[in-house]
Structure 1
Amino acid sequence: MTITKEPSAPLAVVLGVTGNQGGSVVKALAESDKPYRIRGLTRDITKPAAREFAAGGVEMVAVSLTSDNAADARAVFTGANIVFMVTNYWEHLDVTREVAEGKMLIDAAKAAGVGLFIWSGLESIINVSNGKYPNVYHFNGKGEITEYGRRSGIPFVNVQSGWYASNFWKLQGMKPKKLADGTFELALPVGPQTLLPVIDTPNDYGLFVREAIECPEFGPGSEVLTSGQDITVGDMVSQLAEITGKKITYRRIGDEEFMTATGMPPSVALEVLESLKYHEECGYYAGKTTDASRRHLARPTRTWADFVRATDWSSVLA
């Protein structure tokens, strides 16, 4: 571990340090042969994950970075060479709030003179689809923040988040379901050829942030597209069945059947539905390839098969 307190080392401030992405960033920087000072931001520094990072040399700071708290944001960004920012739309389902907080954080980092600002963005689906899919707020809000960051003048890198490998393991509407004959079925409103940039986020997302920091090919104005493996939904189901030894089939279902199966409120189910339809029609990254973004990673990423082998599926495939 190369986390240090030496003042000569660059200071990286990591938001959401106890979450999937922020925690992955800290772990990836700790793996580097370059020394970093790390300041981890979270609302609750008494969480087990926060205490673990503190024990490993991370300066943990408790702070609430809401849109009306710009003064605290500037304070925690002061002296930072690097800031990694992520926002959590799913925590409150309020895209207006997410965008306001994202813009405030960019402004605060600029005012603090941050040298490199790395943002976990997503595509603006409403723009890419020419308005066909307007309700995917967790993408569209981040797309709006991305454009604001690019216009802000701050040294800005967009490290987009790929498709979480854990979605088929923990999301009710995407888990395989047990059928009456004892076999399993994964049913989604898209075809099996739908290609997704699947990533084991806690294990691998931080590698791409480290790449954006350390690789000269990337830098202010660049974009990094994260993916452990680009793989079709059909191949994901086939590999899941082969590795777990369970009989699992795939079925394309109608939109209404999917929305009901999610068990989510109608507005949220519609958002998830539209995101999947967009991925099939336009591509997760709007047709852009992930090849260049994987070229300079410090170590190999996990494939979907690697994730399946490392995960306990007993609660899903019981």
Structure 2
Amino acid sequence: MSMRNDNSPKIIVVLGATGQQGGGIARALAADGRWKLRAFSRNPASDSARRLAARGFEVVAGDMDDPASMRAAFKGAHGVFPSRARTKVERWRRAAASPSQTRRLPLGSSTSSTDPSAAQTAVQASHFESKRRIEEHVLSIRLPATIVRPVFFMDNFTKASMRLVLLALMRSYVPKAKPLQMIAVDDIGKWVARAFADPAGFIGKAEEIAGDELTRAQIVAALKRHGWSAGLPFPLPRLLLRPLPYDVRRMFEWFGTAGYSADIPALKARQPDILTFEDWLARQPTG
């Protein structure tokens, strides 16, 4: 029997709290102020784990390949956010294997193409497919969960080298008039914080979330307005893009055909401060 005071802060476990998306989740939950936050780390003595501890996180040792350590990390938790972009299905199954360990709101990150209604057009990139299988498993065991399906991260444009590759892929695979839906990772965090704060309004639901949608030309123009480098002035032959991982190329092919379909006006009605790409750029150091 737990001796924890019912009035004490409830525990939220964030996996991948040092990563891009997990970091946004961690910041939002910390800013919310109502939770006791727990991070899961293979090496609690690492610099990244120590930084989390300095921000008030309880950092526990564990390994996603060790079910016993996962159960220990989830003990007494109100909810879990398994923020691993490429988490293996088997690992998520371990995380979801004992609903009693997380009584209220396990919450997972997926992607829009996992929607069964989009199965015929969904990209077959490995990380998209694995997330679809995870959603199916969560549904099959009737876990009281919420699924957030964020679109392309604005934060992917932060590094100049990555920006060059992404814009080259857009030029090669995405038609000029086709917009790309995007979201800031901090806005994913705010959505997740709302979901944990209002379980009745979110449990059992899956939602695709985005803050903006822009064509490649509009993205380039916005980057230049903020003093960021904006890729090459000429297209790269697809042959030069071949060394990129296959699932990345397939993902951009999907962006150019089906693509994301989040209801941005509806999301903004509920989360009015969600960032446009221009808003996000204005908050970043010059690229």
TM-score tier, shorter chain, comes to 0.7 to 0.9
Residue in structure 2 matched with residue 160 of structure 1 by the alignment:
149
Opposite residue 25 of structure 1, the aligned amino acid is I
Which of 198, 204, 210 does residue 193 from structure 2 map onto? Answer: 210
Give me the whole-angstrom Cα distance separating, in 1, the residues matched to 2:114 and 2:203: 23
Residue in structure 1 matched with residue 254 of structure 2 by the alignment:
278
SS at match of 1:25: helix
SS at match of 1:194: coil
Instruction: Give yes or no for the alignment of 1:112 onto 2:101.
Output: yes
Structure 2 vs 1, CA of residues 7 and 65 (structure 1 numbering), >3 Å: closer, same or farther? farther
The alpha carbon displacement at 1:133 in A equals 6.0
SS at match of 1:224: strand
What does the per-residue CA deviation read over 1:208-233, in whole Å, with 9 as the maximum and x for residues that have no partner? 10121224673211123232323333
Give me the whole-angstrom Cα distance separating, in 2, the residues matched to 1:49 and 1:6: 31
Residue in structure 1 matched with residue 57 of structure 2 by the alignment:
58
Opposite residue 13 of structure 2, the aligned amino acid is V
Q: Is the 8 A contact 1:173 1:258 kept in 2?
A: no
Q: Which moved more, 1:142-151 or 1:242-251?
A: 242-251
Residue in structure 2 matched with residue 197 of structure 1 by the alignment:
181
Count, aligned residues: 283
Structure 2 vs 1, CA of residues 15 and 126 (structure 1 numbering), >3 Å: closer, same or farther? closer
What does the per-residue CA deviation read over 1:62-102, in whole Å, with 9 as the maximum and x for residues that have no partner? 21112xx222211111111111112232xxxxxxx711111
Q: Is the 8 A contact 2:10 2:77 kept in 1?
A: yes
Structure 2 vs 1, CA of residues 38 and 283 (structure 1 numbering), >3 Å: closer, same or farther? same
Residue in structure 2 matched with residue 13 of structure 1 by the alignment:
13
Structure 2 vs 1, CA of residues 247 and 111 (structure 1 numbering), >3 Å: closer, same or farther? closer
Structure 2 vs 1, CA of residues 102 and 289 (structure 1 numbering), >3 Å: closer, same or farther? same
Which of 114, 137, 140 does residue 148 from structure 1 map onto? Answer: 137
Give me the TM-score of the superposition, normalised by structure 2: 0.83
Give me the whole-angstrom Cα distance separating, in 2, the residues matched to 1:258 and 1:169: 23
Instruction: Give yes or no for the alignment of 1:73 onto 2:41.
Output: no
C-alpha RMSD over aligned residues = 3.3
Which of 258, 262, 266 does residue 238 from structure 2 map onto? Answer: 258
Give me the TM-score of the superposition, normalised by structure 1: 0.76
SS at match of 2:97: helix
Residue in structure 1 matched with residue 91 of structure 2 by the alignment:
101
Q: Is the 8 A contact 1:42 1:63 kept in 2?
A: yes
Structure 2 vs 1, CA of residues 38 and 132 (structure 1 numbering), >3 Å: closer, same or farther? closer
Structure 2 vs 1, CA of residues 311 and 247 (structure 1 numbering), >3 Å: closer, same or farther? same
Residue in structure 1 matched with residue 35 of structure 2 by the alignment:
36
Q: Is the 8 A contact 1:211 1:296 kept in 2?
A: no
SS at match of 2:44: coil
Give me the whole-angstrom Cα distance separating, in 2, the residues matched to 1:245 and 1:13: 36
Opposite residue 221 of structure 1, the aligned amino acid is G
Instruction: Give yes or no for the alignment of 1:295 onto 2:278.
Output: no
Q: Is the 8 A contact 1:212 1:224 kept in 2?
A: no
SS at match of 1:295: helix
Q: Is the 8 A contact 2:209 2:267 kept in 1?
A: yes
How do 1:171-250 and structure 2 match up within 5 A? 172=161, 174-175=163-164, 187-201=171-185, 203-215=186-198, 218-244=201-227
The alpha carbon displacement at 1:46 in A equals 3.0
Opposite residue 302 of structure 1, the aligned amino acid is L
Give me the whole-angstrom Cα distance separating, in 1, the residues matched to 2:120 and 2:239: 21
SS at match of 2:202: coil
Opposite residue 28 of structure 2, the aligned amino acid is A
What does the per-residue CA deviation read over 1:183-203, in whole Å, with 9 as the maximum and x for residues that have no partner? x997331112222231221x3
The alpha carbon displacement at 1:12 in A equals 0.8
The alpha carbon displacement at 1:154 in A equals 1.4
Q: Is the 8 A contact 1:12 1:38 kept in 2?
A: yes
Q: Which moved more, 1:126-135 or 1:209-218?
A: 126-135
What does the per-residue CA deviation read over 1:31-66, in whole Å, with 9 as the maximum and x for residues that have no partner? 22x521111112232333322221222111121112
What does the per-residue CA deviation read over 1:221-263, in whole Å, with 9 as the maximum and x for residues that have no partner? 112323232333331112112332878787777xxx3352364
Structure 2 vs 1, CA of residues 162 and 237 (structure 1 numbering), >3 Å: closer, same or farther? same
SS at match of 1:192: coil
Give me the whole-angstrom Cα distance separating, in 1, the residues matched to 2:162 and 2:17: 28
SS at match of 1:37: strand
Structure 2 vs 1, CA of residues 27 and 142 (structure 1 numbering), >3 Å: closer, same or farther? same
Residue in structure 2 matched with residue 123 of structure 1 by the alignment:
112
